[in-house]
């Protein structure tokens, strides 16, 4: 099992677009906040589904408050 986990980590690192970190500087503050919050939730809880749900909810709230 550890070998399979190591292979999955290496594939993830290899397919990640490292240039996307530059986007955070140019992105609107709300978008950058949602991205960082989603990643933080996933890393803190080790639960991708929870991170995505929190990210979607916060993004929807930011969108709703911006368009009211």
Q: What is the pLDDT of residue 2?
A: 85
pLDDT tens, 22-49? 877 888 889 989 999 999 999 999 999 9
Q: What is the rounded distance in angstroms from the CA atom of residue 15 to the CA atom of residue 2?
A: 20
Grade residue 68 by pLDDT with cuts at 50, 70 and 90: confident
Distance CA 41, CA 58 (A): 12
The 3-state secondary structure of 6-65, one letter per residue: HHHHHHHHHHCCHHHHHHHHHCCHHHHHHHHHHHHHHHHHCCHHHHHHHHHHHHHHHHHH
Spatial separation of the C-alpha atoms in residues 41 and 36, rounded to whole Å: 9
């Amino acid at each position: 099992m550890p070998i399979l986990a190591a292979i999955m980590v290496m594939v993830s690192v290899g397919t990640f677009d490292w240039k996307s970190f530059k986007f955070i500087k140019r992105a609107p503050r709300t978008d950058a906040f949602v991205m960082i919050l989603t990643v933080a939730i996933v890393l803190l809880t080790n639960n991708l589904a929870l991170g995505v749900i929190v990210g979607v909810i916060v993004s929807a709230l930011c969108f709703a408050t911006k368009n009211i």
